[in-house]
């Protein structure tokens, strides 16, 4: 059985270059929140200001593996983007989910949801 390095080395230089280019694209499609912020050339201070928190809070947020969708949506918006949640299935095209953690819903004290109008 060949290793991946042996297999790659057996390919032409042009083929290796094409494979590496595709790998780079796939890798670029998946980023951590911190990597995304760096790629967008946005500082933690700017994100903190947009979110109304301190820079240390942004640092902690970037290290978390479990975020509320509303928090993630706000962080992405602070970088100039829009968060979309996509459900992928093996037997159909991906589906963009809507109505989840809408921007007009906030979690108030005690964990209760309320609208922007405070109701």
Is residue 112 predicted with pLDDT exceeding 60?
no
Find the domain containing 97 and state its range: 31-115
d(CA 16, CA 116): 53
Q: Give the pLDDT of residue 115.
A: 42
Q: Give the pLDDT of residue 92.
A: 94
Average pLDDT over residues 86-93: 92
Is residue 2 predicted with pLDDT exceeding 90?
no
pLDDT tens digits for range 91-111:
999 999 988 755 444 433 333
The answer as to whether 63 is a domain residue is yes
The answer as to whether 36 is a domain residue is yes
Based on DSSP, count helices (H) and strands (E) in the chain, helices before strands: 6, 4
The answer as to whether 71 is a domain residue is yes
The answer as to whether 41 is a domain residue is yes
Q: Give the pLDDT of residue 101.
A: 56
d(CA 34, CA 43): 10
Q: Which residue has the higher pLDDT, 2 or 114?
A: 2
Structural contact between residues 96 and 85, judged by C-beta atoms closer than 8 angstroms:
yes
The answer as to whether 2 is a domain residue is no
The answer as to whether 108 is a domain residue is yes
CATH of residue 36's domain is 1.10.260
The answer as to whether 26 is a domain residue is no
Q: Give the pLDDT of residue 41.
A: 92
pTM of the model as a whole: 0.59
The answer as to whether 97 is a domain residue is yes
Domain total in the chain: 1
């Amino acid at each position: 059985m060949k290793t991946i390095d042996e297999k790659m080395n057996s390919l032409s230089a042009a083929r290796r270059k094409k494979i590496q280019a595709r790998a780079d694209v796939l890798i670029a499609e998946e980023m951590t929140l911190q990597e995304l912020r760096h790629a967008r050339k946005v500082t933690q201070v700017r994100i903190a200001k947009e979110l109304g928190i301190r820079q240390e809070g942004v640092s902690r947020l970037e290290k978390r593996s479990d975020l509320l969708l509303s928090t993630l949506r706000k962080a992405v918006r602070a970088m100039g983007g829009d968060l979309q949640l996509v459900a992928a299935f093996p037997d159909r095209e991906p589906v963009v989910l809507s109505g989840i953690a809408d921007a007009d819903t906030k979690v108030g004290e005690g964990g209760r949801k309320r609208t922007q109008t405070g109701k």
